[in-house]
Amino acid sequence: MTAVDLARLCKRLGYQFQDERLLQQALTHRSADRRHNNERLEFLGDAQLGQIITRWLFDHFPEAREGQLTRMRSILVRGAMLAEVARELDLGACLLLGGGEMKSGGHRRDSILADALEAVVGALLLEAGEEVCRRIVLAWFASRLAEVTPQNADKDAKTRLQEWLQARQLPLPEYTVLDIRGQAPDQQFDLQCALTSHDQAFTATGSSRRRAEQDAAAAALTWLEEQA
């Protein structure tokens, strides 16, 4: 990465790194350098990012319940969301990847972009300290923080799964009852949630069809976010 590239990136980040080697390490994937890569910085940045978002939510939603705070944080720090922020900062264009990752489009992959963003947070923490790091991270997330509320965090898993798929113009999930055991009111429903776009199916068992659908949808959504 040239000095001009670094300067442009620092401008997008909103912070001028004095130690440019630290920033370069944050952008180095393990496929490019097995020893000197961004994995340790990612570990540090992951914890710091979670702390920053947690404190912001705690301060701004004094009436929110613990479960709501947890769900809001999960929305904000999940891999797909971090990848979106990384794309806005154009981190992909600055990543140092090995040949295989370059050929397979690693600079566009959600998991690599999310890891790089966390690594940059770790680098910011080391160089600038907690307060500057907090200010910069909150600026990156400002538009998302303005949208998150305890109410929309309470959306059920089926709704969130449908919105995830619709946002990517993918087919909606298909729910199928596999078995019903027992007699009302002590029935158990075995249900399948199929993602035809990914050739994957997830099963769950619940005391009602709705409960089983929600649990299967939650499993599908977790899998999708982990694969992104």
Residues marked as catalytic: 46, 118
Residue identified by tokens 């806005």 is: 88
Question: For residues 199 and 111, what is the distance between their CA atoms, to the nearest angstrom?
Answer: 20
Question: For residues 193 and 181, what is the distance between their CA atoms, to the nearest angstrom?
Answer: 18
Residue identified by tokens 């005391």 is: 207
Residues 6+ apart with CB under 8 A from 15: 124, 128, 132, 136
Angle at which helices 110-128 and 79-88 cross, to 10°: 70
Three-state DSSP class for 177? Answer: strand
Residue type, 18: Q
Question: For residues 36 and 34, what is the distance between their CA atoms, to the nearest angstrom?
Answer: 6
User: What is the CB neighbour count within 10 angstroms for residue 31?
Assistant: 18
Q: Which tokens in the block code for residue 160?
A: 């969130």
Q: How far is C-alpha 45 from the chain's CA centre?
A: 13
Answer yes or no: is 118 a known binding residue: yes
Three-state DSSP class for 195? Answer: strand
Asked whether the beta carbons of 16 and 6 are under 8 A apart, the reply is no
Annotated binding-site residue numbers: 42, 115, 118
Annotated binding-site residue numbers for Mg(2+): 42, 115, 118
